[in-house]
Structure 1
Amino acid sequence: MRPPHCYVCGLSLRDVDEDQDLWSVFALVTFELSAEEKAVQEARNRDGWVGHPTGTEWFCVQHAPLAKERSHLHWRTALSELKPP
């Protein structure tokens, strides 16, 4: 899995104090997948694949609510709506 890096503002682990709890600064948000993407992810899970799951992105706690409001959308649609200017 990729390390935390807010999709919207770019906040990363380098920007926070070492003693801060990761989950108090970042949230991992999962968006919807297409049927084909779900099948691929399920196969990867069965095979023990390790990596960043498709349709999952990191957000800082400031931007996580915006992302969670769109978690019912396909990840490409949601991320295009959240894309920074």
Structure 2
Amino acid sequence: MRPPHCFVCGLSLRDIDDDQDLWSVFTLVTFELTHEEKTAHQARDRSGWVGHPENTEWFCNQHAALAQERSHLHWRTALSEISATHRPDT
């Protein structure tokens, strides 16, 4: 699993205070997979694969709702929508 790094604004662990808990600043959001992707994930899980799933991204508190509203979408669609609607001032 990758360390927290907001998909939208790039906020990372380096940007938060040492006394802040990462779960109070970041949310891990999981988006939908196709049937084929789910099958591939299950096969990887059985083989002991370790890594960051392509359908899971970190978001800071400011952008978590933006992602959670799209968690029912396929990950490519959701991330594309988030990227398209993101403005530098958000």
Q: TM-score range by the shorter chain?
A: over 0.9
* SS of 1:62 mapped into structure 2: helix
Q: Larger helix proportion, structure 1 or 2?
A: 2
Q: What is the TM-score of this pair, normalised by structure 1?
A: 0.95
Q: Distance in 2 between matches of 1:49 and 1:69?
A: 29
Tell me the CA shift for residue 54 of structure 1: 2.1
- How many positions carry a matched residue from both structures? 85
Structure 2 unaligned residues grouped into runs of 5+: none
Q: Distance in 2 between matches of 1:19 and 1:38?
A: 37
Aligned to 1:64: 64
Structure 1 unaligned residues grouped into runs of 5+: none
Q: Quick one: percent identity of the two aligned structures?
A: 75
Deviation >2 Å, runs of 4+? none
* SS of 2:23 mapped into structure 1: helix
User: What's the Cα RMSD here?
Assistant: 0.9
Q: What is the TM-score of this pair, normalised by structure 2?
A: 0.90
Q: Distance in 1 between matches of 2:54 and 2:68?
A: 16
Kept in 2, the 8 Å contact 1:41–1:54? The answer is no
